[in-house]
A and B are shown apart, each in its own frame.
Chain A
Amino acid sequence: MSAEAAVERYTGAAASLLRVRAMLRRHGYLILKSWTRIVSMMYYPTVTMVVWAFLTLYLAPTNNFLRDAPGFFIGAVLLWDVLFRGQLGVSLTFIEELYARNLGNLFVSPLTLPEYIAGQLAMSVLRALIGVGGACLFAFLLFRYSIFSLGLPLIAFFANLLVFGWAIGLAMSGVILRLGLGAEEFAWAAIFVIAPVSGVYYPVAVLPAWLQAIAWAIPSSHVFEGMRAALLEGVFRWDQFWMAAALNAGYLALGAAVFAWAMRYARDHGTLLQMGE
């Protein structure tokens, strides 16, 4: 046994930041040294983008709408994937811990729930940037379409979709924590429930009145309406932006509350040390 000096520790905010970094390191190591994981993150958005791009090429000569906005479907599919990657980034980060049977180790350490969530959200940004970034690169290389042609509004769209993805991801993490890994499929499928009412490829106005009411209650529909306005009319719809942001604040709080409730349930029922494959 070495006779080293007593271990020195950070305290307060510095220690808290270090714990968030720990979560980034834990999942960053996993992702960045595995080319198969990186490829799999880019695969789905790229393939989907390619399909919509060819559909655009096919329809554009006979379609006025696509002649005016040839990048519409590609932009829509890339932005939709920001939402999807944002949600998966949160949920999969949590599921990885269950598969690794590491949740017990994490929560007997000084890691707090807000720090754990901050780590999940940061990983979600990384996953979204890798996944959607790869698809954006291929969109440019194959079809000369640049997502950056949307200009500054892109940042607003990206941010609002990412935050909504976080909200769903946190809620799904809570559901899996409550129900066990048998509910893992929810993490993959949850996002598709809101796809029809998000108005990704068509305006909310085409939906039946009762579905429109639901559509306007979710942030993604406001983002895609905003995207259409930016592409077709060249205007940034601040009203849609603020509505999406306000709704996001509520949904994010709700998602975090679901996760916190599931964590309390796990502490009450002793599942934190036992959860795994």
Chain B
Amino acid sequence: MSASDSAIVVAGLAKSYGAVEALKGISFTVRRGTTTALLGGNGAGKTTTLSMLLGVLTPSAGRITVLGEEMPAHRNRVLPRMNFTSPYVDLPKRLTVRENLAVFADLYGLRHPRERIAAVAADCDLDDLLQRPYGSLSAGQRTRVSLAKAVLNEPDVLLLDEPTASLDPDIGDRMRTYLERYQRRSGCTMLLASHHMGEVERMCDDVIMLRAGVVVDQGAPRALIARYGRETMEEVFLDIARGRIGERVPGSAAEETTA
């Protein structure tokens, strides 16, 4: 893969907190215009990786390139073309939805904020919520607002940390459908940390499996399912999370590493 085909290149990325190694020198590449899942159990290093890609966490070692720019050194060049959503951050609750989106339109330097806000509000089914305080919305409505904020600048790279966590199946499906349509239209690259394996099978072109701060396998969902001799990504996830890798999976990254 040439450098111009890659939206995200991570090489030898490590993060330590004192004696605790959260990430142990991981490397991976995310192709432009694809959706890649970053999977792993709790504490595997997914949010740590996303935080470093966004420039809000300083790596202990390694290199990150996003859209051809070094992160975090050139974060100011690349952040206007990125965005992010996560259940771990929130928006000001007393501001209306429109006010929140207007603030972020300014933060991302949009030239025609009113038109853009109207467009994302229509896309995310927020027209009736624009005048309501964010804090008065239901969890599902808030998630839609967070998504609207995340696509407001029409990012070339969109990082999604558990985008459908705690959503009911209906809202979760609407979110996924919206993201799929958004990607088809914009050609955006999406990196998704998720515990929802159905979502991963449905949306993702590639999967990167993390365990205890190490990339233990990667590949397309169907290829991983076939390689592990399983029916679903859920089963593959359990195999990897519980360390049942290497000895019975020809071609896995773990096997290549230990060979």
Enumerate chain A interface residues (CB-CB to B < 8 A): 1-4, 6-11, 14-15, 18-19, 21-22, 25-26, 29-30, 34, 96, 100-112, 264, 267-270, 272-274, 276
Contact = CB atoms under 8 A, between A and B. Distances in A.
A112 B76 contact: yes
Contact of A108 (B82, B109, B116): B82
A19 B89 CA distance: 19
A100 B135 CA distance: 10
Given A26-B95, A273-B88, A1 B109 contact: no
Given A105-B149, A272-B57, A7 B154 contact: yes
B86 A273 contact: yes
Contact of A7 (B72, B90, B102, B116): B116
A110 B76 contact: yes
Interface string B185-223: 100000000000000000000000000000000000000
Contacts of A34: 94
Interface of B is mostly: mixed
Contacts of B136: none
Contacts of B82: 108
Given A101-B89, A104-B86, A9 B111 contact: yes
Contacts of B91: 100, 102, 105
B48 interface: yes
B103 A14 contact: no
A96 B182 CA distance: 33
27 contacts: A2-B123, A7-B110, A7-B116, A8-B111, A9-B108, A9-B111, A10-B111, A14-B109, A15-B80, A19-B107, A19-B109, A21-B106, A22-B104, A29-B103, A100-B90, A100-B92, A104-B86, A105-B149, A108-B56, A108-B84, A109-B79, A110-B76, A267-B55, A267-B56, A267-B58, A273-B56, A276-B90
Closest A-B pairs by Cβ, 3 of them: A22-B106, A104-B89, A15-B109
B230 interface: no
Nearest to B57: A270
A272 B56 contact: yes
Nearest to A16: B109
A267 to B, nearest CB: 5
A266 to B, nearest CB: 8
B185 A3 contact: yes
B57 A6 contact: no
Nearest to A25: B103
A3 to B, nearest CB: 7
Given A1-B123, A100-B92, A106 B154 contact: no
Nearest to B181: A1
A270 B111 contact: no
A61 B182 CA distance: 77
Contacts of A273: 47, 51, 56-57, 86, 88-89
Interface string B127-156: 000000000000000000000010001100
Contacts of A25: 99, 102-103, 106
A268 B36 CA distance: 26
Nearest to A1: B181
A268 B115 CA distance: 38
A29 B95 contact: yes
B75 to A, nearest CB: 8
A15 B99 CA distance: 19
Given A21-B106, A110-B76, A272-B51, 7 more contacts: A1-B181, A1-B182, A2-B119, A7-B111, A22-B103, A22-B104, A108-B79
A9 B153 CA distance: 8
Contacts of A26: 92, 95, 103
